[in-house]
Amino acid sequence: MNDRNLNILFTFYVPSGGVETLNRQRLQALSQVGINCHFLYTQSGTGLQNKTDATLYVTNTDLGIKEILQKGSYEAIVVGSDLAMLQRLRSLGYQGILIFESQGLGQDKDYAEKFLKANALPIINPYCDAILYPKAPHLIKAFETYFPSKKKYSFHNCFNTKDFHYRHLPKRPHPIIGWVGRLEENKNWKDFLMIGAKLIRQNPSIKLWMFEDSTLATADQRTAFETVIKQLNLQSHLTVFANLPHDRMADHYSMIGDSGGFLCSTSKVEGFGYAVLEAMVCKCPVLSTDSDGVRHFIIHNTTGKFFTLGNIQHAVKEGQDLLTNAPLREAIRQRAAQHIQQNFSPGDYAANFINMITELKQIKK
């Protein structure tokens, strides 16, 4: 295969969160090996503010998508999560390699399996050539169960630590505990506020920093969020950062790590969990639920810490250990950054991606 002339289109609903991060990361990784990456989002979003050299489209009309297909001459299209888009691309005349990509399947592992059985089976089998997903155990099990004969590829996402890494900045006087996500059920923001409130009772100087995409929260979730903040009396301890450009997050993770604090991830389930990985790269220790996709980053008490989902007391105990056990904390910070650098390289991602396309081209002949 001549990789030098490959055009690949990646589609997703909205430029935000982990998928938008992944798209910027793989743009860098794949352009290093001569692959031209284009991106199509069907709606606008906060991630469009992040600087990138990509060819990027935002449209949801058949006419607009058809023009993109004609102009792009794509060897393959990778469709993120959007089952209807698979059908749509075929009906608009695209005959090349079509790959369904899943970076996560909703708020719990049972839901994922139900979704695949009811929604995905009738569409994935007839309309696409292969399925792509990260090495999250719940995704591997679900796709192997429901798509035994469909071509499947599972490899780690990548991260470029040369551009996004620890930055030495003035040290904050108080420990900061951070949280990143959308205000929605799966990200489980309520548990974070409860954990924070209990740790503040033990050390009233603690500050909480929450980073969110404010455009993706429903009115109900926003109202509930504000109510819980008042109930737990957190107004003077909490700062909410909305829609920060991605490159500024390295500063914030570095400041949290240097303050003596940590990032707390309360998700029910994650396919990959980019926020956890990014914090680790910036020497910000992480306390997380075992949300499946993060198992490849976190080894308990080696590269981070786990607590049991929903067990606030357990989270407080492990969080207290991170706040007070300086030797353990420092060891975790150093090992976590090394672990990410060694295991999620852009070069490995590019090699896996090229192997996938090469194989699918052979099958498609």
Whether 1 shows a pLDDT value over 50: the answer reads no
Of 15-19, 183-187, 200-204, where does mean pLDDT reach its minimum?
15-19
For residue 265, CA distances in Å to 131, 291, 331 come to 28, 9, 20
Q: What DSSP line would sit under 99-120, residue for residue?
A: EEE-S--SSSHHHHHHHIIIII
247-300 pLDDT, tens digit per residue, is 899 999 999 999 999 999 999 988 788 999 999 999 999 999 998 889 989 999
Element (H, E) at 225: helix 219-231
- The pTM of this model reads 0.87
Among 3.30.420.40, 3.40.50.2000, 1.20.58.1030, 1.10.10.10, name the CATH number for the domain at 6-158+345-364: 3.40.50.2000
Region of poorest pLDDT, from 102-106, 124-128, 203-207, 261-265? 102-106
Q: Cα dihedral sign for 345, 348, 354, 357?
A: negative
Strand ranges, E, within 151-212: 151-154, 176-181, 207-212
* Superfamily of segment(s) 176-343: Glycogen Phosphorylase B; (3.40.50.2000)
Task: Count the helices and strands in the chain (H runs, E runs).
Answer: 13, 13
Summarize the confidence of residues 11-20 as an average pLDDT: 88
Which range among 37-51, 120-134, 178-192, 313-327 shows the weakest confidence by mean pLDDT?
37-51
- d(CA 257, CA 157) in angstroms, rounded, equals 24
What number is the average pLDDT over the span 17-25?
Answer: 89
Give CATH 3.40.50.2000 domain extents, the chain: 6-158+345-364, 176-343
**How far from chain centre, in Å, is Cα 80?**
13
Total length of the chain: 365
Report residue 245 as tokens. Answer: 């450009």
